[in-house]
A and B are shown apart, each in its own frame.
Chain A
Amino acid sequence: MGYLKNILVIAIALLFAIPAAIDFRAMHKDEPIAENPNVTEIKMLSEYCDGLKGTDLDTEIYVFDSGVPGGDFLILGGTHPNESASPLAAITMVENFKATKGRVFIIPWTNKSGFTHTSPLDGMQDFYSITLSDGSVRTFRVGNRLTNPVDQWPDYTYYENVSGRELKGTETPEIRNVDRLYYGNENGVLTEQVCAAIYNLINEEGVDLTMDMHEGSPEFLYLDCTMVNMKADNQTAMSIAQSMALDMQFDDLDMRAEYSGVKSYGLSHRSLGDNTASMMTLMETYNPSMGPLHGKMDDDLIINGNEPLYYQAHIDGYIYFDVPEDGYPLVERVARHVTCVTYLAKAFSETYPDRAIAFEGLGSYYDMVDAGMGNLLKPVN
C-alpha cells in the first residue's frame, strides 16, 4: 500500500514535470533567422575562444563584408536576453542589412545560454509571437539576463574578475552576467569566456566601433541614453556619440550621451573600452515588461509595451522616466536601436573617413515604425 501511494505521488509529479520539461526544452531551440544574401559569412564565437566550443554559450556571428575598404563595426544583441528589443533589433539587422563600406559583425544572441531559461518569480513569458505581413507567425524567446545555471553553477560567494570588479554581496549572481565580466578570461567561468571571445574578436578583427544594445526597466535612470567609454581620446568618442544623439533629436527622438561610470568595471562600454582600441558604446531603451511592478504578463505587454501600472507610478511621481500613456511598442524600440547604430556609424565615418562604415536596408526610424515588425522581419521556412 505504501509503495502504491509513493507511485501515485510520483505519477502526479510527472504529470506536471513532463509538460514543464517540454516547455523548458523548447527554449533550447534557436529561433530561425531568414536568409540574407548580403551576409558574407557566419562565424562562431568559439573561433575566438576554444572553451566555448560545444557549449550552450557558443553563438553565431553574422558578418557583412562590403568588400570596400573601411572600418569594422561590432553590434551586440541579446547580451541580456530578457531585453527583447535588443536581440530582435539584431535579428532585424541581420535579415535586412547590406554593408556598403567596411565590415559589420552582428551577434544576435550574445549570451545564448540566457535564452534557454526565464527568471524565477518574475512571471516572465518564455516566448512571444509576431505575425508577419504574409500571415506567417514568427516566435522569439524572451529568456533571462543571466546564464542558465544548468550551464554554470553554483554562483561563487566571491569572485574578482579580470577588470577588478569584485562580485560579492548582492552582486554574486552577476557571475552569470556577460555585462559584468569584461574584458573576459579564457580560463574563467563560461560566461567570462564569452567576454574573452568578444575581446579577442575585437582585437583580431580590428573592430573600430562597438555597440552593445540593451533595455532597462522603467526605474532605470539611463533609458534613451548611450554610454561612451572615457579614455585617452574620449573627447573624440564623446563628440561622435553626441553627434549621433543630435541626429536622433533632429528626428524628434530623445537621446543623450554620457560617459561610462568611473567604477563600471566589467561592463562592456567600460572594460572593453579600457582594454581594446575599439570605441565602445552601449544604448538602453525602455521595457516595461522587465520591471518588478509590471501588470499581467503576456505578448501584448512585450509587443505593445503598454503598462498602466507604471504609467500610474509615473503620474504619482515615483518613476522618473516619462512613461508613455499609450505604451512604447517593440517596433519603436527596435527602430530606435537601428537608428542609433546607423547614426553612430555615420558620425564615426565623418570623424574617421579612412575607416568609414556604411550599410543600408532598413531606412529611417519613421520608415521602420510605419512598416511595423510584421514587415521588417522576413518570412522563414
Chain B
Amino acid sequence: MDIELICLLSMLAVFLLANLLLKLPVSVSMILGAIVGALVGGQGIPVRHLFEGTFTYVDTMLIISTAMLFMMVVQESGALEALNAVIVTRFHKVPALMLILLMFVIMFPGMITGSSTAAVLSAGALVAPVLLMIGIPKEKAGAIIAMGAIMGMAAPPINIPAMLIGGGVDMPYIGFGGPLFLLTIPCAIFSVLFLGLKYCRNLDIEKLKEGLDTEVGKKYGFKLYLPIIVLIVLLVVSKAVPKFPQLGTCLIFLISAIVGLFTGKRFNFWKKSLEAMETTIPVLAKLMGVGMFIQVLTLVGARGWIVVSCLGLGMAFVYISTFTIMPAFGAISSYGAASVIGVPFLLVIIQNTSCNDIIVAAVLAFTCCLGDLMPPTALAGNYAAQIVGLKYKKVFLNCVIPFLFCIAAAVAVIFNTNALSFLSA
C-alpha cells in the first residue's frame, strides 16, 4: 500500500474517531488528524506547517467575524422583523412571491456570513413563526429553513467551501458571484415553492398581522434598512467600479454595522457583539482545522496521490463522486468535504478538461454546502428542526426532493461551464 494512502487513511481515521466517537469538535478532530498524518508521513510534528495551515484563511476569518457583527446589528435593530412584516403584508396576495422573498430573508445571513448556522439561528428563527402562521406544516417549514440556510451559505458574496477549494489551488475568491447565484437562486425558489406554496392559498391577512411586529417598521421607517442598503451599495460599487477606493469587505461590513447602530432599536452593542462572536468561534476554528488538515495532506503527498489515482480511474468516477461522496462527506463536515475532496477533484477536472475552473470550483463548493443537510452532523438541518420543535428525521425526509433538484442543477452547470463562462468574468 502506498505511504500516501496510509497517511490519508490515518488522517481520516483519527478525524472520524475524534469527531464521532470522542465527540470532539470538528476543528479539534481535524487538528488531531493532521498531527497523526504528519507523524505517519515521517514529518514529525511539523510546527511550522501546522501553524501555516492554521493561518491560511485569516482573511476569510476576518470577513466572517465582521459579517457576524453586521448581522447581529441588523437583527437587534429590528430590521429583520420589519422586513418580515413588510413582505407578508405587502405580498400576501401573491403567495409565491411572498414565499420567495421570505426565502431570501432566510438566506441573507448565510450569504453574508457564509454560515448556515448563522442563517438558521438569526433569520430562520424569525421567519419560522411566520411560516407556521401561514399554515405550512412544521416539517415543511423546517425543511424550508434548512434549505434556505444552505442556499444562503452557498450564495455569494461569502461561500466558505469555495474559498477553501480556491485557496487549495491558489485561486483567489473572485468571479464566483455569477456561478453561485445561478446555482442557488433557482434552487432556493424551487425549494420554497415545492415545500410551501400549496399551503398558502386564501391567507387571512388580519390573522397574520397579529403575529407580526409591524410597529418597529412604523416607528423607524425607511432608515431601518439603511445598514443593508449601505452594505449592498458599497459591495456593488467596489465590484463594479474597480478604481473606487478599495475599502475591503471587512471594512464595508463594519461601516454598515456602525450605520445600523443609529437606525433602529437601541441595544447593548458590547454584550451582543460578544454573543455574536461566541457563535462564530466554532466556524473560525473549523477553518483553522481545515487549513492545517490540507497543509499536512499536501506535505505528506496525499493530495497529489488522490489526484493521480483519480486520474487513473477516469473522469466518470470523479463526476459521480462529486455528486455523491462529496455531499455525503458533509455528515462529518462540509468544510472537510471541500478540503479533502474538493481541492483534489478540482485539480483533476482542471488537469483533464478545458472547463472554466471558477465555475467548476463553484459547483464543487455548492455541492459541499448541501452536505450540511446530512445527518448526524447536519448543522443547518438539526437547528432548523429544533426551531420548529421536531426531530430532524422528519425535516430531512422533506428535504430529499429539493436536495435532488440541487444536485441536478449542479450536474447541468458542471457540464456547461464553457457556455456559462461569462458568469465568472
Contact = CB atoms under 8 A, between A and B. Distances in A.
Interface in B257-299: 291, 294-299
A309 interface: yes
Contacts of A17: 51
Interface in A94-139: 118-123, 126
B138 interface: no
Contacts of B294: 121
Given A20-B47, A23-B48, A154 B248 contact: yes
Interface in B35-67: 41-42, 47-53, 55-56, 59
B295 A170 contact: no
A174 to B, nearest CB: 10
A122 B167 CA distance: 10
B52 A118 contact: yes
B352 A156 contact: no
A314 to B, nearest CB: 10
A309 B248 CA distance: 40
Nearest to B52: A120
A176 to B, nearest CB: 12
A297 interface: yes
Nearest to B424: A169
A295 B4 contact: yes
Given A20-B47, A296-B301, A318-B352, A170 B358 contact: yes
B52 A316 contact: no
B207 interface: no
Contact of A170 (B47, B52, B168, B172): B172
B35 to A, nearest CB: 11
A318 B169 CA distance: 18
A126 B41 CA distance: 17
Contacts of B303: 123, 292-293
A219 interface: yes
B28 to A, nearest CB: 12
Give the bracket for the number of chain A residues in contact with chain B. Answer: 35 or more
Given A121-B291, A170-B171, A158 B242 contact: yes
Interface string B298-333: 111101110110011000000000000000000000
A126 B51 CA distance: 13
Of A126, A155, A173, A312, chain B has the most CB atoms within 10 Å of the CB of A312
A121 B295 contact: yes
Contact of B243 (A16, A158, A297): A158
B175 A24 contact: no
A297 B51 contact: no
A123 B297 CA distance: 8
A313 B311 contact: yes
A312 B301 contact: no
Contacts of A291: 304
A53 interface: no
A120 B311 contact: no
B174 A172 contact: yes
Interface string A286-314: 00000111111100000000000100110
B386 interface: no
Contact of A19 (B47, B304, B347, B352): B47
A293 B172 contact: no
A375 interface: no
B89 interface: no
B172 A173 contact: yes
Contact of A309 (B41, B170, B305): B305
A118 B305 CA distance: 22
Contacts of B416: none
A226 B305 CA distance: 31
A291 B425 CA distance: 26
A292 B51 contact: no
A316 B305 contact: no
A121 B298 contact: yes
B47 A16 contact: yes
A124 to B, nearest CB: 8
A333 B311 CA distance: 28
B48 A20 contact: yes
A123 B299 contact: yes
A170 B352 CA distance: 20
Interface in B93-140: none
A157 interface: yes
A43 interface: no
Contacts of A170: 171-172, 174-175, 358
Given A170-B175, A172-B174, A294-B304, 6 more contacts: A118-B48, A154-B59, A157-B238, A173-B170, A294-B301, A318-B352
30 contacts: A16-B51, A17-B51, A20-B50, A20-B52, A24-B48, A120-B53, A120-B291, A120-B295, A121-B168, A121-B294, A121-B295, A123-B298, A123-B300, A123-B303, A154-B59, A157-B238, A158-B243, A168-B174, A169-B172, A169-B175, A170-B174, A292-B347, A293-B303, A293-B304, A296-B301, A297-B298, A297-B301, A316-B312, A318-B351, A318-B352
